[in-house]
Structure 1
Amino acid sequence: MPTHSRAVPAHILLVEDDPGDELMAREAFEDDALDSQLHVARDGEQALDFLYQRGDFTNAPRPDFILLDLNLPRVDGRQVLREIKNDATVASIPVVVLTTSAAVEDLVACYDAHTNAYITKPAGYEEFIDVVRQINQFWLDTVRLPSDAAQ
């Protein structure tokens, strides 16, 4: 049962370089009844450009939360996380790390860098879809986001 309703669709930034994982995430968000718009950055540099509205992303909306893969081309997801959480203008945006890495050092480093959640991607299709749906449900229907304060 929803704990609050949103006045406008939520904007989610998915930072993912794997086309298969992107497709599964899109399917999970499209199947969900929650009102959201998924934006995709395919590497860390695009993610930062989206956040700071640079280059092709000059009209990008501020994301309500970010799903961040760690192993990205150009700018690594770990660096993206550090940059987000060290910049007061975007630090309040929740970041959920969604990665194949089950390494303890990645888990610890991400929480040290103030990630809001760390999830290891399930290998199976149905499990992956279910995890993304649960993330969507939690962040859009259960918790109040910083962007909710402006509504």
Structure 2
Amino acid sequence: MSVIKPALQHPELIAYFSGANNYSWLYFRNGEKRLLAKPISYLETKLPDFIRVHKTILINPSYVKSLHQPPRQKMAGEIRLDSGEVFPVSRRRWQQVAEFLQDRLGPKKQEAEVASEKVNVAPPLLIAQQEEEKALSIIVSTEDEQNALLSKHAIEKKWPAYQVHTILHSNHLPDMLKQLPQPNYPSLLILDARTDTLERMNTVQRLKEDPQLGAIPVVLLVSPTDQSVTDGYKHQANSVISMPDGYMLFANIIERVCQFWLRTVALPGSGE
């Protein structure tokens, strides 16, 4: 299946494209790359927020760390990415690139910094106390930063009423949630058990054994094996999803999970 369409639906995961005749290399922020059967000129029309710095390079501006002027006349400038990679900025594109980045990165600097920050943000308890006006929340626990970013963007784009908190580890969740008033409990917990499987399973069990926390819906993402699915339900997860690797697949599944749990079923306190 072509990766072009799903990739373009999540440009926040893309660092840059490198053109090669009628093909282009797509470089994700996590270091992965894919060969696309499209020229870079086609991708430029599909991603107007990206900037073409060279005839062969199309860059996500939120991934730019710095821009350096040409050292001498008739020489190319340089653009440096957060990853440390450096690309030339052609002389004829220099003014356009400089103005584009000034216009785009000025108001979006804070947004770009948020998009590239580590997954292990402030604990949900602290966030819930600081953002009382946004009581509806979802917690996603995964060790994969790209999946965490995908989850946050996918959920908050389609369900803006929900605040998404992403965390690396889940073993502290039961203790932290017990300190919250019940109306501030998250509407949904999504635990990626494809890594740290034992920790995730123990977290589910502890949550479900608690008379109050047990009402919080818990969705467990597991490796595609019968044993993983069986173990998930033995630990009383509300839903267990067999899930292979793949960022675009992850985003689609998260959207379908939220569509079911946030729109179809009746949750405690929803009044539906």
| Partner SS state of residue 63, structure 1 | coil
Which one-letter code corresponds to 2:190 in the other structure?
L
CA 1:77–1:105 in 2, change beyond 3 Å: closer, same or farther? same
Asked whether 1:80 is paired with 2:80, we answer: no
Q: Which has the larger radius of gyration?
A: 2
Which residue pairs with 2:150 in the alignment? 24
**Cα distance 1:24–1:122, how it changes in 2: closer, same or farther (>3 A)?**
farther
**2:155–2:255 contact (8 Å) kept in structure 1:** yes
User: Does the alignment pair 1:115 with 2:226?
Assistant: no
CA apart distance, 1:38? 0.8
Partner-residue secondary structure (3-state), 1:44:
coil
Shift of 1:146: 1.3
Q: Equivalent residue for 1:140?
A: 262
Q: Distance in 1 between matches of 2:238 and 2:259?
A: 15
Counterparts of 1:69 and 1:126, CA distance in 2: 15
Does the 8 Å CA contact 1:16/1:72 hold for their aligned counterparts?
no
Counterpart of 1:127?
249
Contact 2:229–2:242 under 8 Å retained in 1 = no
CA RMSD of aligned residues (A): 2.6
- After superposition, where does 1:26-105 map in structure 2 within 5 Å? 26-33=152-159, 35-53=161-179, 61-70=184-193, 71-72=195-196, 76-99=199-222, 101-105=223-227
Gaps of 5+ in 2: 1-133
Distance 2:141 2:269 in 1: 20
Q: Is the 8 A contact 2:224 2:244 kept in 1?
A: no
Residue number in structure 2 paired with 1:4: none
- In structure 2, the CA distance between the partners of 1:33 and 1:40, relative to structure 1 (3 Å rule), is closer
SS in 2 for 1:148: coil
Amino acid in the other structure paired with 2:140: L
Deviation at 1:9, TM superposition (A): 5.8
| TM superposition score normalised by structure 2 | 0.45
Which residues of structure 1 form unaligned runs of 5+?
A: 1-7
**Runs of 4 or more consecutive aligned structure 1 residues displaced over 3 Å after TM superposition:** none
CA distance, structure 2, for counterparts of residue 67 and residue 24 of structure 1: 13
How many aligned residue pairs are there? 137
- The percentage of counterpart residues that share the same residue type is 26
Higher RCO (Cα < 8 Å, 6 or more apart) = 1
| Equivalent pair of 1:44/1:72 in contact (CA under 8 Å) | no
1 CA distance for matches of 2:234 and 2:177? 21
Q: As a proportion of its length, which structure holds more strand? A: 2
Q: How far is the alpha carbon of 1:17 from its aligned partner?
A: 1.8
Q: Deviations over 1:23-54 (max 9, x none)?
A: 1111211321452111122102232343223x
Q: Distance in 2 between matches of 1:98 and 1:83?
A: 17
